[in-house]
Amino acid sequence: MAFRKYFYVLRIALSERLVYRTDFFLSTLMRFAPMVTTILLWRAIYHVDESPAAGSGGEPTRFDGLTYENVVAYYLLTFVSRAFSSMPGLAGGIARDVREGTIQKYLIQPIDQVYYLMMTRVAHKLVYYGVSAVPFAIAFYLLRGFFGGWPEPVMLAGGIASLVLAFFLGFFFEVTIGMISFWFLEISSLLFIVMSLNYFLSGHMVPLDLLPGGLRTVLEWLPFQYLAYFPAKMLLGTPDVTPAALGRGLITQLGWVLLFIALSRFLYRRGLRRYSAFGG
Partner 1 sequence: MQSLARYARLYASFLRIGLMQEMSFRGNFLIRVGTELLWFIVLCIFYDVIYRKTNSIAGWSRFEYLVLVGTHFIATGLIETFFMAGFGDLAEKVRSGKLDFALAKPVDEQFLLTMQMMDWATFTNVIYGLGMVVFSLSKLGVVPSIGAVAVYLVTLTAGLALFYSLMVMLSVSAVWLIRNQHLYEMWFYVNVFARFPPDIFVGPLGSPLRWLTTFILPVLLAVAIPAEALSKGLRQPGLAVYSVVAAIAFLAISRWVFRWALRHYRSASS
Minimum CB distance to partner 1 smaller for 40 or for 157: 40
Asked if 220 contacts 194 with a C-beta cutoff of 8 angstroms, the reply is no
Contact string (CB under 8 A) for partner 1, positions 16-35, x = contact: -----------x--x--xx-
Distance CA 197, CA 215 (A): 14
Determine, following the binding rule CB under 8 A, whether residue 37 of this chain makes contact with partner 1: yes
Rounded to the nearest whole angstrom, what is the least distance from the CB of residue 43 to partner 1 in the complex? 7
Asked if 54 contacts 60 with a C-beta cutoff of 8 angstroms, the reply is yes
Rg, Å, the chain Cα set: 21
Minimum CB distance to partner 1 smaller for 56 or for 189: 189
Which range binds partner 1 by CB under 8 A, 41-49, 164-172, 239-247, 253-261?
41-49
Estimate the crossing angle of helix 90-100 against helix 113-142, to 10 degrees. Answer: 150
Estimate the crossing angle of helix 68-85 against helix 153-179, to 10 degrees. Answer: 50
- Reported as type and span, the H/E element at residue 109 is none
Minimum CB distance to partner 1 smaller for 107 or for 210: 210
What is the maximum span of the chain, computed from C-alpha positions, in angstroms? Answer: 75
Rounded to the nearest whole angstrom, what is the least distance from the CB of residue 69 to partner 1 in the complex? 15
Distance CA 259, CA 237 (A): 28
Rounded to the nearest whole angstrom, what is the least distance from the CB of residue 40 to partner 1 in the complex? 5
Asked if 16 contacts 8 with a C-beta cutoff of 8 angstroms, the reply is no
Q: Which of 7, 12, 41, 102 binds partner 1 (CB under 8 A)?
A: 41
Minimum CB distance to partner 1 smaller for 12 or for 45: 45
Count CB-CB contacts under 10 A for residue 204: 22
Rounded to the nearest whole angstrom, what is the least distance from the CB of residue 32 to partner 1 in the complex? 12
Asked if 236 contacts 70 with a C-beta cutoff of 8 angstroms, the reply is yes
Which range binds partner 1 by CB under 8 A, 3-11, 171-179, 190-198, 242-250?
190-198
Q: Which of residues 60-119 bind partner 1 (CB under 8 A)?
A: 63
Minimum CB distance to partner 1 smaller for 34 or for 243: 34
Number of residues counted as binding partner 1 (CB under 8 A): 29
Q: Which of residues 191-230 bind partner 1 (CB under 8 A)?
A: 192-193, 196-197, 199-200, 205-206, 210-212, 215
Q: Which residues pair with 144 in a beta bridge?
A: none
Distance CA 118, CA 268 (A): 15
Q: Which residues bind partner 1 (CB under 8 A)?
A: 27, 30, 33-34, 36-37, 39-41, 43-47, 49, 63, 189, 192-193, 196-197, 199-200, 205-206, 210-212, 215
